[in-house]
């Protein structure tokens, strides 16, 4: 979101007030240009190797976002049958979709394999089942847990020893025994360390572990290093140095391929990195309450629409787009849910008045996809702004949507 010369905030030339007037409040808005820029940034960082991007679509599954990803050459990583079907509806071939489950019923894996998706096996029991069911007739990846702790929050660290995700690298001999017993066609190894990792060192550490492990598998085509790149949440925030990371990982990958004896494909599966900065949650101030202890700004949204600040303690920069030049004051920005749903504490904003439009940044990932109907509230509409025009990509919900699956009406 840019502040124009006439001191108004805009998304590709369209103001938040125009968007609210047209589509209502609250409102999710995505900037397609930002998504294109983030994809290009990752492609440039790894331009010296054979690299493929698999968008971790759990971050944002709107079909218009998936279609945009397909348009710019990004494939998909999904974690459920629902996400798989959304990918198909967005125009992806099953072969362009990787299914990365986490302890799911085996029938979900069977459905994905038989539909043509490539499955990422995440446990010894699943590997056993896969071998008994398919032998050498179907390829798979194996998700390795490298036992490295890294990430911005304990809830989004996924590669440490106590994590539920993947098969511990310490069980490599057991993995190989199962693979060899059934002749399983393992064409790739995968790992995902976590999210919001800003330093190159954890990525390098897990890459080295995965490259060394990969030497035990003779038929690989793919090494998948997952995602977790740190994005900017506030002005001046530290982020992953993609140029440095790309240089260091590419050097190691080339060395590994030379030792392995042939060129493999390097995969990444970012989610938040591609869509977080593209998204904005626009909301309208309902009440400004000046208490002796602090000032409260109440808005017409809550944890039912954006739960990340309450679940992860995540920071979302907030702008008062209705009064950008106003006197600065300190507020707690809170929602309208009957829970403590504080978006920001002791946050300095331009003076907020009832009716002002506040915009929460970095709302493109794990915003709408983690939303709910709590307090019987409707979920907001979603809008995509691309090439200078705005398009409604999901209508606002109604009572009919809340009651649509209930009997006895």
Query: Is 85 part of any known ligand binding site?
Result: no
CB distance 288 to 294 below 8 Å:
no
d(CA 45, CA 2): 26
d(CA 294, CA 346): 8
Structure tokens at 24: 């209502």
Structure tokens at 166: 């993947």
Burial profile 150-177: b = 16 or more Cβ within 10 angstroms, e = fewer: bbbeeebbbbbeebebbbebeeeeebee
* 398, burial (CB in 10 Å: exposed 0-12, middle 13-18, buried 19+): exposed
Query: Is 312 part of any known ligand binding site?
Result: yes
DSSP state of 312: T
Query: Is 339 part of any known ligand binding site?
Result: yes
Tell me the catalytic residues.
338
CB distance 304 to 311 below 8 Å:
no
d(CA 6, CA 24): 24
Q: For residue 295, which of 352, 369, 336 has the smallest C-alpha distance?
A: 352
Query: Is 246 part of any known ligand binding site?
Result: no
Contacts of 11 (CB under 8 A, 6+ apart): 1, 2, 19, 29, 31, 280, 385
Residue 15 neighbours by CB distance under 10 Å: 17
Binding residues for pyridoxal 5'-phosphate: 228, 366
Q: Binding site membership: which residues? A: 228, 308, 312, 339, 366
Annotated binding-site positions for substrate: 308, 312, 339, 366
């Amino acid at each position: 979101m840019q502040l124009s010369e006439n001191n108004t905030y805009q998304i590709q030339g369209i103001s938040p007030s125009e968007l609210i007037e047209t589509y209502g409040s609250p409102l999710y808005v995505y900037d397609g240009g930002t998504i294109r820029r983030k994809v290009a940034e990752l492609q440039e960082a790894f331009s010296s190797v054979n690299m493929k991007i698999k968008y971790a679509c759990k971050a944002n599954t709107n079909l218009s976002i998936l279609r945009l990803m397909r348009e710019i050459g990004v494939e998909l990583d999904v974690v459920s049958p629902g996400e798989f079907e959304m990918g198909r509806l967005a125009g992806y071939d099953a072969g362009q979709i990787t299914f990365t489950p986490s302890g799911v019923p085996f029938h979900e894996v069977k459905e994905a394999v038989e539909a043509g998706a490539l499955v990422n096996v995440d446990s010894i029991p699943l590997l056993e089942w896969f071998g008994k069911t398919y032998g050498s007739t179907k390829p798979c990846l194996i998700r390795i847990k490298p036992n490295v702790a890294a990430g911005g929050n304990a809830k989004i660290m996924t590669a440490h020893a106590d994590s539920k995700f993947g098969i511990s690298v310490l069980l490599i001999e057991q993995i190989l025994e199962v693979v060899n017993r059934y002749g399983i066609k393992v064409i790739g190894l995968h790992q995902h360390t976590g999210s919001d990792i800003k330093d190159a060192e954890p990525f390098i550490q897990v890459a080295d572990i995965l490259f060394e492990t990969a030497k035990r598998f003779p038929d690989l085509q793919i090494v998948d290093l997952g995602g977790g790149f740190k994005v900017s949440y506030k002005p001046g925030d530290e982020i992953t140095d993609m140029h440095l990371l790309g240089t260091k990982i590419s050097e190691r990958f080339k060395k590994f391929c030379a030792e392995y004896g042939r060129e493999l494909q390097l995969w990444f599966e970012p989610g938040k990195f591609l869509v977080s900065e593209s998204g904005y949650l626009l909301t309208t101030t309902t009440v400004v309450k000046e208490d002796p202890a602090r000032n409260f700004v109440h808005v017409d949204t809550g944890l039912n629409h954006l739960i990340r600040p309450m679940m992860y303690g995540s920071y979302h920069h907030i702008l008062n787009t209705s009064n950008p030049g106003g006197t600065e004051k300190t507020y707690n920005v809170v929602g309208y849910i009957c829970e403590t749903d504080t978006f920001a504490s002791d946050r300095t904003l331009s003076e907020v008045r009832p009716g002002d439009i506040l915009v929460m940044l970095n709302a493109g990932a794990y915003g709408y996809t983690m939303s709910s109907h709590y307090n019987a509230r409707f979920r907001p509409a979603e809008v995509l702004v691309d090439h200078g025009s705005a398009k409604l990509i999901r209508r606002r919900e109604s009572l009919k949507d809340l009651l649509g699956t209930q009997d006895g009406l």
